[in-house]
Chain A
Amino acid sequence: MCETCGCGDPEIVPIEVQESLLAENDRQAQHNREHFDSHGVLAINLMGSPGSGKTAVLEATARARESSGGLIALSGDLATDNDASRLQAAGIPSLSITTGSACHLDARLVHRALHDLEWQDAEFLFIENVGNLVCPAIYDLGQAANVVALSVTEGEDKPLKYPVMFRAADLVLLTKVDLLPHLPQIDVHAIEDALARTMPDLNVIHVSATTGEGIKDWLGWLESRQSAEPAAVT
């Protein structure tokens, strides 16, 4: 009740909050990050459209390393554990996170999955996000870096259409480059130009999971991140 004048009207109180609605997720992500850092595990949030080649790149990564040891993966999908099964078959111990109707992974889902996976001795933990160029971009999972797989068949203007995703990317893997000879209408320079207008620190590696092209460069990038300080997330 309004106590000032005794009129009996309810009192309306304004409250200043000024807090991000992602604050709870960000707190959980920071907790995950502390886990990863304390075990020296480099966590990569691998994002991209459905069918952009995220799983295929990870399979090729396992093939290109002298041994598949040191790699581990969490794989997010709305339904099925097909991706985790493929990665298991490629020698990467993997666990699937089935999100049901959720279009993205969040820090809590990742944390819960960490309890069911022996990840502590791995060098690299790949968190293969739900195939989606929108929602996963805004959820920090505790990763050291965001990597976006973009296939040459997706169209040259994809980065311009999905700027939030490409702004968040530390690296773009331009996938399926072995198909370029069959795609005369696709201009790789146009893709890179679109990326330069959405990704502040442009960094692109051309890869083909089929031929193995670029996979060594990708491994080199991973190793350089491993020796770098864990990146602060902004």
Chain B
Amino acid sequence: MHEYSIVQSLLDRVQVEVDARGAVAVHRLRVKIGEFSGVEIELLKSAYDLFRQRTICESAELDLVPVAGRWACPSCQRTIRRGEILRCIDCDAPAKLIEGSEIILERLEMEVA
């Protein structure tokens, strides 16, 4: 359940922006979660609902945007489909994860006095 640690990092990161701009409330957060990020979206939601209480994010909506994993050959760029051997049959190169590993705070909306 490292989702608790991720939520703590999220709240800490938001606090930095809040302090920098003297915000009085946070309305919305948008976080991108990759399929291979190791983070479970449902667990992250529950962890957020628990941890946001009595923080500046108490009434902030959390939008979680899932990102599907996408593998490709780094040499010929051929897409390597889900469940295939992760090595290019033409180039013999190990596949590279093009996207799907991210845990990124994209943006937030906050209220300034």
Binding site for B on A (CB under 8 A): 1, 10-25, 102-104, 106, 134-135, 137-139, 163-164, 167, 196-202
Residues on B with beta carbons closer than 8 Å to the beta carbon of A22: 6, 9, 103
Residues B38 and A16 in contact, CB atoms below 8 Å apart: no
Assuming the A-B contacts A200-B95, A201-B94, are A103 and B1 also in contact, with contact meaning beta carbons closer than 8 angstroms in the complex? Answer: yes
B89 to chain A, nearest CB (A): 12
Instruction: Report the interface size class on chain B.
Output: 35 or more
- Contacting A at CB under 8 A, from B40-84, are 71, 83-84
- Knowing that A13-B110, A24-B9, A163-B36 are A-B contacts, what are 17 other residue pairs whose CB atoms are under 8 Å apart, sorted by A's residue number? A10-B24, A10-B111, A10-B113, A11-B112, A13-B112, A14-B109, A15-B108, A17-B17, A21-B104, A21-B105, A104-B5, A135-B38, A138-B2, A167-B36, A167-B97, A196-B87, A200-B71
Could you pull out 21 A-B pairs where Cβ atoms are within 8 angstroms?
A10-B24, A10-B113, A11-B111, A13-B109, A15-B21, A16-B107, A17-B106, A18-B106, A20-B104, A20-B105, A21-B103, A24-B9, A24-B12, A24-B13, A103-B1, A135-B1, A137-B38, A164-B38, A167-B36, A200-B96, A202-B86
A36 to chain B, nearest CB (A): 23
Residues A19 and B104 in contact, CB atoms below 8 Å apart: yes
Q: Which of B5, B36, B71, B113 contacts A102 (CB 8 A)?
A: B5
Residues on A with beta carbons closer than 8 Å to the beta carbon of B27: 12
Residues B2 and A103 in contact, CB atoms below 8 Å apart: yes
Residues on B with beta carbons closer than 8 Å to the beta carbon of A102: 2, 5
Give complex CA distance A85, B1 in Å: 27
The residue of chain A having its C-beta at the shortest distance from the C-beta of B31 within the complex is: A21
Q: Which of B6, B95, B105 has the most CB of A within 10 A?
A: B105
Residues on B with beta carbons closer than 8 Å to the beta carbon of A137: 38
Residues A198 and B13 in contact, CB atoms below 8 Å apart: no
Residues on B with beta carbons closer than 8 Å to the beta carbon of A139: 2
Residues on A with beta carbons closer than 8 Å to the beta carbon of B39: 138
Q: Per-position contact with A for B3-47: 1 when CB-CB < 8 Å, else 0?
A: 001100110110001000101110100010000111100000000
B65 to chain A, nearest CB (A): 13
The residue of chain A having its C-beta at the shortest distance from the C-beta of B102 within the complex is: A20
Q: Which of B71, B84, B85 has the most CB of A within 10 A?
A: B85
Counting from the closest, the 10 A-B pairs by CB-CB distance are: A200-B94, A135-B2, A138-B38, A201-B94, A164-B38, A200-B86, A21-B9, A10-B111, A17-B105, A196-B85
Give complex CA distance A18, B24 in Å: 22
Assuming the A-B contacts A13-B21, A17-B13, A24-B12, are A164 and B2 also in contact, with contact meaning beta carbons closer than 8 angstroms in the complex? Answer: no
The residue of chain B having its C-beta at the shortest distance from the C-beta of A160 within the complex is: B83
Residues A14 and B108 in contact, CB atoms below 8 Å apart: yes
Q: Which of A11, A21, A135, A200 has the most CB of B within 10 A?
A: A21
Give complex CA distance A208, B95 in Å: 30
Give complex CA distance A11, B109 in Å: 10
B82 to chain A, nearest CB (A): 9
